[in-house]
Amino acid sequence: MLKIGLTGGIGSGKSAVARRLVERGAVLVDADRIAREVVAPGTDGLAEVVATFSERVLAADGALDRAALGELVFADESARRRLEAIVHGRVRARTAELVAAAPPDAVVVNDVPLLVEVGLAATYHLVVVVRTEVETRLRRLARDRGMSRDEVERRIAAQADDARRAAAADVLLTNDGTLDELHAAVDALWRDRLVPYEVNLRQRRPVRLDRVRLIEPDPTWPQQYARLAARIRHAVAPADLRVDHIGSTAVTGLAAKDVIDIQLSVSSLAEADGPMADRLADVGFPRLPGDWWDTARTGGGRWEKRLHGSADPGRPVHLHIRETGSPGWRYALLMRDHLRADPDRRAAYLGLKRELAASAPESGAYATAKDPWFDEEHLRAEEWAAQTGWRP
């Protein structure tokens, strides 16, 4: 099933996004609600909280006095970490139960306020972050919850800042406007990305781009790669395999197809088959059908590989799985690093890409038409490698 991580700072409107997704058909798993359940009266969780922080965190009726506990932990990082150690494991276990109970074709939205802080982003197919200006959050929390400015500022300071959340976000929803505007953004996300992503994931269907359209360099491509690589590493764990950003989106200043190329290094291609292929498909990277290879630049023939794509219609990916040390593996890294180092060759390649995108926009024809240029570039790159002592 498709698992979405939803987060945002206090007062950002994350709960409004969660409610709208439920209205559209999502299954909601609310971490805050679960966190309350695991420290409800009579639970082991509450007993451990009281043992750690004393009975001053209990209300008169024996329930947890969340305000009293909040005063303790939001002003004291070590106290907050002790509380998290008590609560987080129990929340994870209950979350797993609820996710397992959802239908296999569900879009499961896990509303997690501290998703970024506790490093959970790589465990989801997609992370949605709700971002709202601090002043807007202050006004909303004073109006809706009666919270003082000092209290809100302390809680904001205890959470990840906007830049850290944005780095983890596959989707960033801005909520500084009206509720109708927020609903429209959520509806578009549901219709255009989440629903087709769920179908593609369930059917093991990668997204393919049949025509070439170059876009100008996107400064967020490296950050997007980092999020994708984290999911790939999570999928293949406990194996510690090398993952690299390759291709044009890995070279600053190059216009490119909006496809992130990634190389996963394996000891043999047999390792890429069987369970690894299934695990990659489960996290959103299904294998493309058929046999795949790179055109050999020396000696003729071809360099065999495995190729996976992305089931996410909002982020096309080519995941090339190659044997460590093989000619194709080395070539991908050498081409990237030479183009990064040589502005003249980078400019020449950009000119070729623009020309071919206009004259041969079909993906297959575009790739084949670049072969003569890459044959020459390969020789230049090898000379550069010898002169500089480059190693992959």
Residue pLDDT, tens place only, 179-225:
999 999 999 999 999 999 999 999 999 998 878 788 999 999 999 99
Helix (H, G, I), strand (E, B) or coil at 207: coil
pLDDT band of 161, cuts 50, 70, 90: confident
* φ/ψ (deg, to 5) at 245: -85, 120
Dihedral, CA of residue 177, residue 183, residue 189 and residue 194, to nearest 10 = 140
Task: Examine the pLDDT at 310 and tell me if it is beyond 80.
Answer: yes
pLDDT tens per residue, range 281-290: 999 999 999 9
Mean pLDDT of 16-38: 94
Q: What is the DSSP letter of 324?
A: T
pLDDT for the residue numbered 216: 92
The two structure tokens encoding residue 42: 């009579």
Order of strands across the sheet that contains 317-323: 243-246, 260-266, 317-323, 302-309, 292-295
The two structure tokens encoding residue 208: 């393919």
Q: What is the DSSP letter of 192?
A: I
pLDDT for the residue numbered 92: 87
Mean pLDDT, the chain, rounded, equals: 91
* φ/ψ (deg, to 5) at 186: -65, -40
Task: Examine the pLDDT at 118 and tell me if it is beyond 90.
Answer: no
Q: Which of 311, 318, 228, 329 is nearest to 269 (CA)?
A: 329
pLDDT for the residue numbered 203: 96
Order of strands across the sheet that contains 107-111: 27-30, 107-111, 2-8, 126-131, 171-174
Mean pLDDT of 280-303: 91
Q: Is the peptide bond before 238 cis (omega within 30 degrees of 0)?
A: yes
Mean pLDDT of 345-371: 81
pLDDT for the residue numbered 284: 98
Q: What is the DSSP letter of 8?
A: E
pLDDT tens per residue, range 133-158: 887 887 877 777 777 777 777 777 77
pLDDT for the residue numbered 384: 97
Helix (H, G, I), strand (E, B) or coil at 194: helix
Between β-strands 107-111 and 2-8, what pairing exists: parallel, antiparallel or unpaired?
parallel
* φ/ψ (deg, to 5) at 293: -160, 165
pLDDT for the residue numbered 147: 77
Pairwise CA distance, residues 323 & 275, whole Å: 17
Burial pattern 375-390, b for ≥16 Cβ within 10 A else e, equals: eebbeebbebbeeeee
Write the single-letter amino acid at 82: R
Polymer length in residues for the chain: 392
Write the single-letter amino acid at 43: T
Task: Examine the pLDDT at 372 and tell me if it is beyond 90.
Answer: no
Mean pLDDT of 48-61: 90
Range in 106-120, 152-166, 302-316 the model is least confident about: 152-166
Pairwise CA distance, residues 6 & 15, whole Å: 9
Pairwise CA distance, residues 28 & 26, whole Å: 6
pLDDT for the residue numbered 192: 97
pLDDT for the residue numbered 137: 81
Q: Which of 134, 97, 127, 93 is nearest to 112 (CA)?
A: 127
Asked whether 35 and 83 are in contact (CB, 8 A), the reply is: no
Task: Examine the pLDDT at 386 and tell me if it is beyond 90.
Answer: yes
Q: Which of 127, 215, 140, 219 is nearest to 176 (CA)?
A: 140
Task: Examine the pLDDT at 75 and tell me if it is beyond 90.
Answer: no
pTM of the model as a whole:
0.88
Write the single-letter amino acid at 146: G
Write the single-letter amino acid at 58: L
Mean pLDDT of 12-23: 94
